[in-house]
Amino acid sequence: MIRSQKVRKFIVNTRQTLFITTNLFFQNSLPTIASACALGLLFSVLPVVFLIITVLVRVLHTEHSLVMHFYQYINMLVTQEQFESLVQTILSVNKVGMFEIISIIAIFWLARRFFLSVMRGFHIINHQDSRRKGINFTMGGFFGETIAVVGMAIMISAVFAARSLLKFDIFSEILPWIDGTLYPILVSITPPVMLFLVIFATYRYAPGTKPNLWLCARAALYTSVIYKLVQLLFRLFLNTSRYNMIYGVLSNVMVLMLEAGVFFQIFLFFAQFIYVKQFFNQLELAELYLLPAFQDHRFMTKIRRKLFFSDFSGFSNRLLQIKSGEIIYGEGYPSDFIYCVTDGIIEVTTDTETNHYGKGKFFGELSCLTNSLRKETVKAVTPVTLIRFGRHEFELLVSRNPEINSKFLTLLSNSKV
């Protein structure tokens, strides 16, 4: 019984999370931001590759023959002759002068377009709750770019070093299958592992809200797996040779843009997912409070009501059972809580009128948020089930959610009429 309740609660929670995530994903215009990230990647990928090669050659002193193995990962962007020329140019620099420093800074600046696009997405998602404001988000993009470039260079260098190590006679004689089996596996898993680590680090450190490590790891895994499945579908149904015949070299750019666009849609969706999981209680309460009256039969309203007003297992510690005829609070009582009727009928009596309300009705928010004594008496006409919320939760919602703020101001205005 307890297990089935946990499963049901998990299913309900998952549905609500996906609904809120999808709603905020489009409300925050993240599809547009994802397109900007893909375009930024197109302009930044070659400068980033240049920086990685520079770190490999100038900092890590990776051998020329090993650096050339890196070409297989970017062969859709440049020819082998161009890549060879680039490596030779970097190797030919014996002394770093002012011209080289200026060139590196310029290339680094070009690469920032992509990283700043990503940080803009995280700023839009987390701006209300992030501890990073304004210039800090820009600096986050700067440091993120530096760490990503150096980290990828170190990982690539480590893979190349492992291959050199595995070629030693001691390994080839004792374990002859290592070079023929282990190294290809190592090479094949390195790109997805690097992708996962970059996504995980971005999810963890870019928002500025300190999301849970396990939550970031799950989201990074979902993003990596879904993107890999999309890539497989592209390989199955997209005939790139046909585009090569029509568009030539531009076909590689088109495929790159298509894949990058899909990747950033998935990437930002799960960035929004992390935010929703972090602040789920507040977002769920906002959805509940903004539900239209039960007389509203629009399609989307029915879906929202089904999702947020059919199961209250997530509010089990807030539920109150009130007997018929019992006073919930009276005039002059302190205002510490706000209530929502989930079942039954209540009677609200003021100096001038008496009204009856059913499920879906929120009451007590006006005096609670203005920190004044109750001006009405609320009684249960039938057995009533209520959800109770504290003042602090609603103060946060009013300050952060424009729709709730507008609803409260309307309520406040009408009370003065």
| CB distance 382 to 324 below 8 Å | yes
pTM of the model: 0.76
CATH of domain 291-415: 2.60.120.10
pLDDT of residue 297: 74
| CB distance 51 to 107 below 8 Å | yes
Other Cβ atoms closer than 10 A to 171:
14
pLDDT of residue 73: 58
For 330, the enclosing helix (H) or strand (E) is none
C-alpha span between 72 and 75 (Å, rounded): 5
First to last CA, the chain: 52
Beta strands 346-349 and 377-380 are: antiparallel
**Helices 391-400 and 280-289, packing angle to 10 deg:** 80
Residues of the chain with CATH 2.60.120.10: 291-415
- Token representation of residue 401: 């959610």
pLDDT of residue 150: 59
C-alpha span between 215 and 218 (Å, rounded): 5
pLDDT digits (tens, 9 = 90+) for 281-321: 888 888 888 887 777 777 887 888 888 877 776 677 788 89
| CA proximity to 132, closest of 79, 103, 124, 314 | 124
- Token representation of residue 288: 């509940």
| CB distance 311 to 6 below 8 Å | no
Q: How far is CA 144 from CA 104, 190, 200, 396, in A?
A: 17, 20, 12, 31
Q: What is the maximum alpha-carbon separation in the chain?
A: 97
- Token representation of residue 17: 């999370």
C-alpha span between 216 and 222 (Å, rounded): 10
| CB distance 334 to 373 below 8 Å | yes
Q: Which residues of the chain have pLDDT under 70?
A: 1-5, 43-53, 55-114, 128-187, 238-255, 313-314, 415-417
Task: Tell me the DSSP string of 58-90.
Answer: IIS---HHHHGGGGGGTTTTS-HHHHHHHHHHH
pLDDT of residue 215: 93
Other Cβ atoms closer than 10 A to 168:
11
Beta-bridge partners for 169 = none
Helix (H, G, I), strand (E, B) or coil at 7: helix
Helix (H, G, I), strand (E, B) or coil at 208: coil
Secondary structure E strands in 184-326:
319-322
Helix (H, G, I), strand (E, B) or coil at 176: coil
pLDDT of residue 417: 45
Other Cβ atoms closer than 10 A to 309:
16
- CA 281, 283, 289, 295: dihedral to nearest 10 degrees? -120
**Helices 280-289 and 250-278, packing angle to 10 deg:** 80
